[in-house]
């Protein structure tokens, strides 16, 4: 079920969009800061990730991680971009970025709620976070290179900076200042909320005029966010059902649908127009709602397994 914290998080994200839209000039000084604020948010999020889970993986575990990572970073962006170019071409680039971004750092939390294979989800968070710095800019270059003139290395450099600096900081901090990290971890939720709010204020302060005159785009983006979340989860369940002998559909559904949308917000705001950060922000709405249908699916699958066991 959705918790009070989830509702507060969604409210804070939308309050940040509203503040950025309504106070464009007053908060203009925040516009250069979102990449650095996101690094702080990822630093706090990486506290709960055990990087040692990558060591000692068996051959079967490595194959499963490789398959889900390939689906997440290679199949999904191509599949959903191709579909969008036919159905809603104006959103092809936003859908490409949201579909091709890494598994979100909240995914292990969601997996715990569903009593899923959290270790495998953690492994996918780490692997996709490392690889997305190269795969996402490559997809942009290959699929929409004729429409954008941003060098691949420029995009890759930004993603590498945003992801690897906090990852390295957590790794070093655990060795040198574990007590300080423990104290930060105890207050990470309110600090993260402050960072999420400020990120959205900084990003959307540039798009105030656009949003205030294009409310229809907000509703379109919200509808697309729900549709994409459902499609991502369904794809994970379907792949798991087809290759049931070695893949867990619930793991796939969690890893594919819980995306790092904050990374898309900051990345796309730096390089593209308002539609992409808007879609990524709207994805926060179905983000935590996903746990309800996935829990229902788990109950149905569990009953089916017991019936045929």
Q: What is residue 119's predicted lDDT score, i.e. its pLDDT?
A: 85
Give residue 189's Cα distance to chain centre.
Answer: 17
Looking at the chain, the whole-number percentage of residues with pLDDT higher than 90 is: 24
Residue 146 has what pLDDT? 53
Under-70 pLDDT residues of the chain: 1-3, 6, 48, 56, 113, 146-151, 288, 300-309
pTM reported for the whole predicted model:
0.81
Domains of the chain (ranges, CATH numbers): 4-308 (1.20.1530.20)
- Dihedrals phi, psi of 33, to nearest 5 degrees: -90, -20
Give residue-wise pLDDT tens across range 204-215: 888 777 777 888
Among the listed residues 257, 255, 242, 241, the one whose alpha carbon sits nearest the alpha carbon of residue 301: 241
Length of the chain measured in residues: 309
The model's pLDDT over 276-298, given as tens digits with 9 standing for 90+, comes to: 888 988 888 787 678 778 877 77
Q: What is the pLDDT of residue 9?
A: 76
Model pLDDT for residues 235-280, shown as the tens digit of each residue: 999 998 888 777 888 889 999 999 988 888 888 887 887 888 889 8
Interior CA angle at 275 toward 265 and 46, to 5°?
15
Q: What is the largest CA-CA distance in the chain?
A: 63
């Amino acid at each position: 079920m959705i918790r009070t914290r989830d509702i507060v998080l969604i409210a804070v994200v939308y309050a940040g969009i509203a503040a950025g839209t309504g106070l464009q000039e007053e908060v203009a000084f925040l516009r250069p800061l979102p990449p650095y604020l996101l690094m702080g948010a990822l630093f706090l999020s990486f506290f709960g990730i055990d990087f040692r889970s990558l060591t000692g993986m068996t051959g079967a575990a490595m194959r499963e991680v490789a398959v889900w990572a390939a689906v997440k970073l290679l199949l999904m962006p191509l599949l959903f971009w191709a579909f969008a170019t036919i159905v809603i071409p104006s959103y092809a680039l936003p859908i490409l970025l949201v579909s091709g971004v890494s598994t979100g750092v909240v995914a292990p939390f969601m997996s715990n709620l569903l009593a899923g294979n959290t270790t495998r989800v953690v492994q996918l968070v780490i692997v996709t976070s490392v690889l997305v710095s190269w795969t996402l800019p490559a997809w942009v270059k290959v699929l929409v290179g004729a429409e954008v003139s941003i060098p691949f290395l420029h995009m890759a450099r930004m993603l590498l900076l945003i992801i690897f600096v906090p990852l390295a900081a957590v790794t070093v901090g655990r060795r040198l200042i574990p007590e300080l990290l423990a104290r930060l971890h105890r207050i990470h939720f309110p600090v993260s909320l402050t960072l999420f709010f400020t990120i959205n204020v900084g990003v959307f302060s540039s798009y105030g005029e656009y949003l205030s005159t294009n409310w229809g785009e907000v509703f379109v983006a919200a509808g697309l966010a729900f549709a994409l979340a459902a499609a991502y989860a369904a794809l994970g369940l379907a792949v798991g059902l087809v290759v049931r002998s070695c893949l867990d559909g619930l793991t796939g559904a969690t890893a594919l649908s819980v995306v790092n949308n904050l990374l898309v917000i900051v990345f796309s705001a730096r390089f593209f127009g308002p539609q992409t950060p808007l879609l990524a922000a709207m994805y926060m709405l179905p983000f935590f709602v996903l746990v309800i249908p996935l829990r229902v699916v788990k109950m149905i699958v569990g009953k089916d397994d017991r019936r045929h066991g």
